[in-house]
Amino acid sequence: MDRQRVIDEFHKLYYPVCGRNNWLGYQVLKCPMDLMAYQQLIYLTRPDVIIETGTYAGGSALFIATVCDAIDHGYVISIDIQNDRFKDLLPKHQRITWLSGSSLDVDVHKDVQHLTRGWQGMVVLDSNHEADHVYKEMVAYASYVAKGCYMVVEDTNIGGRPVVPECKAGPYQAVEKFLKGNHDFLWDQAFEANLELTFNPGGYLKRTGIRPPVEFTKIDNRI
Protein backbone atom coordinates (compact mmCIF):
# COMPACT_ATOMS: atom_id res chain seq x y z
CA MET A 1 0.00 0.00 0.00
CA ASP A 2 1.47 3.37 -0.99
CA ARG A 3 2.01 6.19 1.50
CA GLN A 4 -0.88 8.42 0.39
CA ARG A 5 -3.30 5.52 0.44
CA VAL A 6 -2.27 4.72 4.03
CA ILE A 7 -2.89 8.34 5.01
CA ASP A 8 -6.28 8.36 3.24
CA GLU A 9 -7.40 5.12 4.85
CA PHE A 10 -6.46 6.36 8.32
CA HIS A 11 -8.20 9.64 7.50
CA LYS A 12 -11.43 7.76 6.73
CA LEU A 13 -11.07 5.76 9.93
CA TYR A 14 -10.41 8.76 12.15
CA TYR A 15 -12.84 11.31 10.67
CA PRO A 16 -16.05 9.82 12.19
CA VAL A 17 -14.60 9.86 15.72
CA CYS A 18 -12.89 13.28 15.73
CA GLY A 19 -15.77 14.62 17.83
CA ARG A 20 -14.23 12.88 20.84
CA ASN A 21 -11.53 15.56 20.92
CA ASN A 22 -11.71 18.33 23.48
CA TRP A 23 -9.59 21.19 24.72
CA LEU A 24 -9.76 21.99 28.44
CA GLY A 25 -13.13 20.25 28.61
CA TYR A 26 -14.72 21.84 25.51
CA GLN A 27 -15.41 19.79 22.40
CA VAL A 28 -13.26 20.46 19.33
CA LEU A 29 -14.36 19.09 15.94
CA LYS A 30 -10.92 19.32 14.37
CA CYS A 31 -8.00 17.11 13.49
CA PRO A 32 -5.23 17.45 16.12
CA MET A 33 -2.70 17.95 13.32
CA ASP A 34 -4.67 21.00 12.19
CA LEU A 35 -4.72 22.36 15.73
CA MET A 36 -0.94 22.03 15.83
CA ALA A 37 -0.82 23.82 12.48
CA TYR A 38 -2.89 26.68 13.93
CA GLN A 39 -0.57 27.16 16.88
CA GLN A 40 2.40 27.21 14.54
CA LEU A 41 0.79 29.78 12.24
CA ILE A 42 -0.21 31.99 15.18
CA TYR A 43 3.28 31.79 16.65
CA LEU A 44 4.96 32.60 13.32
CA THR A 45 2.63 35.37 12.10
CA ARG A 46 1.41 36.88 15.41
CA PRO A 47 -2.01 37.99 14.10
CA ASP A 48 -3.71 40.84 15.96
CA VAL A 49 -7.05 39.08 15.60
CA ILE A 50 -8.25 35.61 14.62
CA ILE A 51 -11.78 35.52 13.19
CA GLU A 52 -13.51 32.13 13.35
CA THR A 53 -16.83 31.36 11.67
CA GLY A 54 -18.55 28.34 13.17
CA THR A 55 -18.24 28.23 16.97
CA TYR A 56 -19.98 24.94 17.79
CA ALA A 57 -19.02 24.13 21.42
CA GLY A 58 -16.30 26.77 21.62
CA GLY A 59 -13.35 24.42 22.01
CA SER A 60 -11.44 25.58 18.95
CA ALA A 61 -11.82 29.26 19.87
CA LEU A 62 -10.58 28.42 23.38
CA PHE A 63 -7.61 26.55 21.93
CA ILE A 64 -6.70 29.53 19.76
CA ALA A 65 -7.12 31.92 22.70
CA THR A 66 -4.77 29.88 24.87
CA VAL A 67 -2.16 29.98 22.11
CA CYS A 68 -2.60 33.77 22.08
CA ASP A 69 -2.07 33.69 25.85
CA ALA A 70 1.18 31.80 25.35
CA ILE A 71 2.57 34.46 22.98
CA ASP A 72 0.81 37.30 24.82
CA HIS A 73 -0.72 38.66 21.64
CA GLY A 74 -4.00 38.54 19.72
CA TYR A 75 -7.65 37.94 20.39
CA VAL A 76 -10.47 35.85 18.93
CA ILE A 77 -13.83 36.71 17.39
CA SER A 78 -15.99 33.61 17.00
CA ILE A 79 -19.25 33.75 15.02
CA ASP A 80 -22.14 31.30 14.98
CA ILE A 81 -25.89 31.48 14.42
CA GLN A 82 -26.46 29.70 17.76
CA ASN A 83 -24.08 31.58 20.05
CA ASP A 84 -26.92 33.41 21.82
CA ARG A 85 -28.74 30.12 22.39
CA PHE A 86 -25.71 28.39 23.91
CA LYS A 87 -23.90 31.41 25.37
CA ASP A 88 -24.02 30.04 28.93
CA LEU A 89 -22.27 26.85 27.77
CA LEU A 90 -19.42 28.55 25.92
CA PRO A 91 -16.03 28.92 27.62
CA LYS A 92 -15.21 32.21 29.31
CA HIS A 93 -11.94 33.76 28.23
CA GLN A 94 -10.78 37.37 28.17
CA ARG A 95 -9.42 37.07 24.64
CA ILE A 96 -12.67 35.73 23.07
CA THR A 97 -15.68 37.68 21.82
CA TRP A 98 -18.71 35.61 20.78
CA LEU A 99 -20.95 37.01 18.04
CA SER A 100 -24.33 35.49 17.26
CA GLY A 101 -25.70 35.45 13.71
CA SER A 102 -24.81 34.31 10.24
CA SER A 103 -21.24 35.03 9.18
CA LEU A 104 -22.80 36.66 6.10
CA ASP A 105 -25.14 38.91 8.06
CA VAL A 106 -24.47 42.62 7.48
CA ASP A 107 -25.09 43.45 11.15
CA VAL A 108 -22.60 40.79 12.24
CA HIS A 109 -20.08 42.16 9.79
CA LYS A 110 -20.52 45.65 11.23
CA ASP A 111 -19.78 44.22 14.67
CA VAL A 112 -16.64 42.57 13.31
CA GLN A 113 -15.53 45.86 11.74
CA HIS A 114 -16.07 47.65 15.05
CA LEU A 115 -14.22 45.03 17.09
CA THR A 116 -11.24 44.76 14.77
CA ARG A 117 -10.80 48.55 14.51
CA GLY A 118 -8.89 48.17 11.30
CA TRP A 119 -6.66 45.38 12.60
CA GLN A 120 -5.94 42.36 10.46
CA GLY A 121 -4.84 38.84 11.18
CA MET A 122 -6.00 35.29 10.52
CA VAL A 123 -9.37 33.90 9.41
CA VAL A 124 -10.73 30.37 9.97
CA LEU A 125 -13.88 29.45 8.04
CA ASP A 126 -15.82 26.52 9.50
CA SER A 127 -19.54 27.27 9.32
CA ASN A 128 -22.00 26.21 6.62
CA HIS A 129 -20.06 23.95 4.22
CA GLU A 130 -22.13 24.59 1.09
CA ALA A 131 -19.83 25.82 -1.68
CA ASP A 132 -21.75 29.04 -2.35
CA HIS A 133 -21.79 30.00 1.33
CA VAL A 134 -18.08 29.29 1.79
CA TYR A 135 -17.18 31.29 -1.31
CA LYS A 136 -19.17 34.28 -0.05
CA GLU A 137 -17.41 33.99 3.31
CA MET A 138 -14.03 33.97 1.59
CA VAL A 139 -14.86 37.12 -0.36
CA ALA A 140 -16.31 38.83 2.72
CA TYR A 141 -13.48 38.06 5.14
CA ALA A 142 -10.45 38.17 2.82
CA SER A 143 -9.73 41.81 3.70
CA TYR A 144 -9.30 40.87 7.38
CA VAL A 145 -6.30 38.67 6.57
CA ALA A 146 -2.99 40.45 7.03
CA LYS A 147 -0.26 40.14 4.43
CA GLY A 148 1.76 37.05 5.30
CA CYS A 149 -1.10 35.62 7.40
CA TYR A 150 -3.58 32.90 6.53
CA MET A 151 -7.16 32.21 5.65
CA VAL A 152 -7.92 28.58 6.51
CA VAL A 153 -10.92 27.02 4.80
CA GLU A 154 -11.90 23.98 6.85
CA ASP A 155 -13.29 20.60 5.82
CA THR A 156 -12.05 20.69 2.25
CA ASN A 157 -11.64 16.94 2.82
CA ILE A 158 -15.34 16.30 2.15
CA GLY A 159 -16.50 15.41 -1.33
CA GLY A 160 -14.32 12.31 -1.46
CA ARG A 161 -11.08 14.08 -0.56
CA PRO A 162 -11.12 11.47 0.93
CA VAL A 163 -14.30 11.52 3.11
CA VAL A 164 -18.04 12.18 2.59
CA PRO A 165 -18.01 11.41 -1.16
CA GLU A 166 -21.72 12.18 -1.49
CA CYS A 167 -21.01 15.90 -1.00
CA LYS A 168 -20.55 17.19 -4.55
CA ALA A 169 -20.01 20.92 -3.92
CA GLY A 170 -18.42 22.05 -0.69
CA PRO A 171 -15.49 24.05 0.71
CA TYR A 172 -12.92 22.76 -1.76
CA GLN A 173 -14.98 23.92 -4.75
CA ALA A 174 -15.31 27.31 -3.07
CA VAL A 175 -11.53 27.52 -2.72
CA GLU A 176 -11.05 26.67 -6.39
CA LYS A 177 -13.46 29.42 -7.44
CA PHE A 178 -11.94 31.96 -5.08
CA LEU A 179 -8.35 31.37 -6.16
CA LYS A 180 -9.26 31.70 -9.84
CA GLY A 181 -10.41 35.25 -9.25
CA ASN A 182 -8.11 36.35 -6.44
CA HIS A 183 -4.35 36.55 -6.86
CA ASP A 184 -3.67 37.92 -3.38
CA PHE A 185 -3.90 34.43 -1.89
CA LEU A 186 -1.90 31.31 -2.64
CA TRP A 187 -2.35 27.74 -1.47
CA ASP A 188 0.61 27.09 0.84
CA GLN A 189 1.45 23.60 -0.37
CA ALA A 190 4.80 23.47 1.42
CA PHE A 191 3.25 24.21 4.82
CA GLU A 192 0.46 21.69 4.29
CA ALA A 193 2.89 18.98 3.19
CA ASN A 194 4.40 18.96 6.68
CA LEU A 195 1.07 18.02 8.26
CA GLU A 196 0.76 14.54 6.68
CA LEU A 197 -2.90 14.40 7.79
CA THR A 198 -5.19 17.43 7.53
CA PHE A 199 -8.94 17.88 7.33
CA ASN A 200 -8.27 20.99 5.23
CA PRO A 201 -6.35 19.82 2.12
CA GLY A 202 -5.89 22.77 -0.20
CA GLY A 203 -7.38 25.04 2.46
CA TYR A 204 -4.29 26.74 3.90
CA LEU A 205 -4.25 30.00 1.94
CA LYS A 206 -1.54 32.61 2.56
CA ARG A 207 -2.13 36.23 1.71
CA THR A 208 0.69 37.58 -0.40
CA GLY A 209 -0.74 40.91 -1.57
CA ILE A 210 -3.01 43.74 -0.54
CA ARG A 211 -6.30 44.77 -2.12
CA PRO A 212 -9.06 47.21 -1.06
CA PRO A 213 -11.69 45.83 1.37
CA VAL A 214 -14.80 44.43 -0.28
CA GLU A 215 -18.22 46.04 -0.04
CA PHE A 216 -19.91 43.55 2.23
CA THR A 217 -23.44 44.72 1.44
CA LYS A 218 -23.06 43.43 -2.12
CA ILE A 219 -22.95 39.84 -0.92
CA ASP A 220 -25.47 39.98 1.89
CA ASN A 221 -26.94 36.57 2.72
CA ARG A 222 -28.96 37.44 5.80
CA ILE A 223 -30.80 34.57 7.52
Above pLDDT 90, what percent of the chain?
87
Single-letter amino acid code for the residue at 138: M
Flag whether pLDDT at 202 surpasses 60.
Answer: yes
Task: Kindly report the average pLDDT of the chain as a whole number.
Answer: 92
Q: Beta partners for 99? A: 79
One DSSP character per residue, 131-153 reads HHHHHHHHHHHGGGBPTT-EEEE
DSSP character for 104?
Answer: T
* Nearest to 111, CA basis, from 123, 97, 122: 97
Flag whether pLDDT at 81 surpasses 90.
Answer: yes
E strands along 20-126, which residues? 22-23, 26-27, 49-53, 75-80, 96-100, 121-125
For 53, the 3-state DSSP assignment is: strand
Residues 67-85, mean pLDDT to the nearest whole number: 97
Handedness of CA 185, 190, 194, 199 (dihedral sign): positive
Contact 37, 206 (CB under 8 A): no
Predicted local distance difference test score (pLDDT) of residue 214: 44
Domains parsed from the chain with CATH numbers:
3-211 (3.40.50.150)
Flag whether pLDDT at 155 surpasses 60.
Answer: yes
Predicted local distance difference test score (pLDDT) of residue 171: 98
Q: Beta partners for 170? A: none
Residues 88-109, mean pLDDT to the nearest whole number: 97
